[in-house]
Chain A
């Protein structure tokens, strides 16, 4: 009946990722020190956290076994079950049964299962499921030191579970050699894992019924072209728990479920389909309590929670922590970012001095070095945010943030953990989008990514400052109030957008899965692990998003640079400059030449081309060119306008010549080109439009598809156009501007 006597013909020595190497997986619940153990075993730098579901990527490493053999070890996402209800569980299940995955998996030769010594029953539940699939297991008993007297006796546990149990403390490397030796012993035995619990008569009858209905290719043998390590009983049990009563459910996405199987599964009405889950727990409740005689000591965590989750004190601490996070991103990072920009400008200037004028020099200085500078300038914020998140996750506070904020975030159908990314969005959308990784469900992550770019990031500030200073009349007070209003407007639109998107866009609709998050015990963060994680995440950002940002920066530079010749009929600027009497006159002629070139560039022509589309918003082609330039980063709008208005490319948002140029700009009929109303419409356009290639590059990287950045760009820019149109045209109808 069980697979006890069956040898495993399929998993030894075929389809190996590295020929001859044993394939191992590391499985376990979230928050059991799994990734810490992975790092200690493989010496790699995967992310470690005290927070469920952080390891969503497949992380591999090499595990040295005794006798010089090397095994491949794959870190699975932390899950409580393998029932494939979430992406993480699906990944774990696929890896365990050896479905062909993105990296060409086969079934593992053995699994190392992390078993939290303070949560033995819950951790063993997962172990039972893995053993049902036929995968041989070695148990790494983690949190052994934390459990103290509450920890079970490893030998008794080993007898009960039918596999080796090794207590480990990853931090001090205690037990790691024993674990490797145990894995080696298991690999030498050619036996499949057996079921520890026996189905009762009712469940047995149902399993038999499903088995009888199973088509041949579901029996151990040929499904998916590779032998399945799981026994027929395991497949029947999987069908019993996962096949939905109606066709077209999530189970049908992966494979076509034959009608006979579906009929056998749904022969009995619910709640009888919970039998398998209940049977496992019956076994656990009978066998585990004699081994665990004392409850783990949670008193320290309870004392801390009494303060940190308190109605008044808890919120005070929460606001303090979030203020520090915000200050760090908004102000502390700024001098470093300015320093980086200055450094790259300096390097560019020196290079220009060495190489002299020329297209190649401009490509190198303005395109490449400027682009690399754009990417590197994100680093201080990205590093700081990952440092904060790492510490907050590791000590267990981030789960409490979700607990405290859930009520507010839920009303907009956002996850409680979306709070930190939204707050970070005030500094910059790029690190904020990277911070969405702290949410375990893809739907929550994507929804947050779709609304974070609406928050008023620091790159919008120079644009607002310029527009308010140049075009909005009134006292400093009204101007300041308008600035505050723009911030409130962005928060409001982000929250409303989240609500609307979650109601209308199908992949973003809330699922019926329970919002249940574990509040893990508080633990001391491990500085080394946090810093290593910070560095590995940041370098991943540089490698994957940074390259896209760099490519876009160079493309955008070329768009505004070529062609080089001046339009026909323009004056001979070089001759004029040579004849100019003063240095000031020379400089202003040079600026005019630059402006003429920009107008004649592809970008300038594009500005003209989009003018009909932005005319209804009150914008002219010059603003159009500015909008195109702003795609590199919103603040570039200011310097692009500086060039367009021939006041020099070094104009900043406080530049009086640029402000005067905007105020005095005339249309063809002699009327002022820009009114305060148009200024307001322009600010609203900037608030809503997705004017940032870096954001799109990061969304592409984090969602692993081009669909979401395309959707983000389309919906934000569409929304920006509509709202700006309403403001401008509505304002005109009401007699403003």
Chain B
């Protein structure tokens, strides 16, 4: 998952109980998700899903297949240009040490 960019969940893999938990949190295919920051020690990640933020370990996040494209849901309400500043902001934040 790229840092800061909104991406779309394609599938959640892994064992049944694990997968079910993430799905029930709302990480279903088609959901926009964003890695906000990485913890100072390199793990876990802080992700944003459906307006809430969660801490998730890298190894577990690796089980989430994503598609790197502007998610369809915000694109409907906002013009495509609306995505650009958000990405730029996220990138700028990502590059900051």
Contact = CB atoms under 8 A, between A and B. Distances in A.
B50 to A, nearest CB: 6
B81 interface: no
B17 A85 contact: yes
Interface string A398-417: 01001110111010000010
A516 B60 contact: yes
A518 B16 CA distance: 21
Given A515-B60, A516-B56, A519-B46, A122 B18 contact: no
Contacts of B30: 285
The 6 closest A-B pairs by CB, nearest first: A407-B41, A311-B40, A519-B53, A81-B24, A403-B55, A281-B28
Interface string A276-315: 0110010001000100000110100000010001110011
A178 interface: no
23 contacts: A81-B21, A118-B51, A122-B52, A125-B26, A277-B24, A278-B23, A281-B26, A310-B40, A315-B40, A402-B55, A403-B55, A404-B40, A406-B41, A406-B44, A406-B57, A407-B39, A416-B55, A513-B18, A513-B21, A514-B56, A514-B57, A516-B25, A518-B55
A516 B53 CA distance: 10
A121 B26 contact: yes
A277 B17 contact: no
Contact of A295 (B42, B44, B51): B51
B44 A407 contact: yes
Contacts of B11: 271
A517 interface: yes
Interface string A484-518: 00000000000000000000000000011111111
A353 interface: no
A513 B17 contact: yes
Given A309-B40, A315-B40, A513-B21, 17 more contacts: A85-B21, A118-B51, A122-B50, A125-B26, A277-B20, A289-B73, A298-B53, A305-B37, A403-B39, A407-B41, A407-B44, A410-B43, A410-B57, A514-B56, A514-B57, A516-B21, A519-B55
B51 A296 contact: yes
Given A402-B55, A406-B44, A514 B97 contact: no
Given A277-B20, A277-B28, A403-B55, A309 B46 contact: yes
A309 B29 CA distance: 29
Given A281-B28, A309-B40, A404-B39, A119 B52 contact: yes
Nearest to A405: B41
A406 B14 CA distance: 21
A80 interface: yes
A241 interface: yes
B22 interface: yes
Among B18, B29, B51: residue with most chain A CB under 10 A? B51
A519 B40 contact: no
B34 to A, nearest CB: 12
A80 B37 contact: no
A301 to B, nearest CB: 8
Contacts of B40: 309-311, 314-315, 404
Nearest to A242: B20
Among B15, B53, B60: residue with most chain A CB under 10 A? B53
A273 interface: yes
A83 interface: yes
B42 A514 contact: no
Among B18, B19, B52: residue with most chain A CB under 10 A? B52
A410 B60 CA distance: 13
B54 to A, nearest CB: 5
Interface in A140-180: none
Nearest to A284: B26
A515 B43 CA distance: 12
Contact of B54 (A281, A314, A518): A518
A273 B16 contact: yes
A670 interface: no
A121 B51 CA distance: 10
Nearest to B23: A277
A518 B52 contact: yes
Interface of B: 11, 14-26, 28-30, 37, 39-44, 46, 50-57, 60, 73, 97
Nearest to B22: A514
Contacts of A281: 23, 26, 28
Contacts of A270: 16
Interface string A403-446: 11011101000001000000000000000000000000000000
Given A407-B39, A515-B56, A119 B24 contact: no
A274 interface: yes
A513 B18 CA distance: 5
Given A277-B28, A402-B55, A516 B17 contact: no
B56 A125 contact: no
A449 B39 CA distance: 26
A402 B41 CA distance: 12
B39 A512 contact: no
Contacts of B97: 311
Given A403-B46, A406-B44, A514 B55 contact: no
Interface string A74-113: 0000001101010000000000000000000000000000
B55 A517 contact: yes
A241 B20 contact: yes
B39 to A, nearest CB: 6
Contacts of A289: 73
B39 A309 contact: yes
Nearest to B39: A403
A541 B88 CA distance: 52
A371 to B, nearest CB: 44
Given A83-B24, A122-B25, A281-B26, A518 B53 contact: yes
Contact of B43 (A81, A83, A310, A407): A407
Given A122-B26, A281-B26, A407-B41, A512 B53 contact: no
Given A80-B25, A512-B17, A309 B53 contact: no
A136 B58 CA distance: 40
Given A404-B39, A512-B18, A514-B18, A80 B24 contact: yes
A289 B76 CA distance: 12
Contacts of B23: 274, 277-278, 281
Interface string A309-329: 111001100000000000000
B59 to A, nearest CB: 9
Given A85-B17, A514-B22, A298 B51 contact: yes
Among A83, A244, A281: residue with most chain B CB under 10 A? A281
A152 to B, nearest CB: 13
Interface string A234-251: 000000010010000000
A278 B30 CA distance: 11
B37 to A, nearest CB: 6
A403 B47 CA distance: 12
Contacts of A515: 44, 55-57, 60
B28 to A, nearest CB: 4
A629 B26 CA distance: 56
Among A281, A407, A512, A516: residue with most chain B CB under 10 A? A516
A309 B37 contact: yes
Contacts of B57: 406, 410, 514-515
A406 B25 contact: no
A506 B52 CA distance: 34
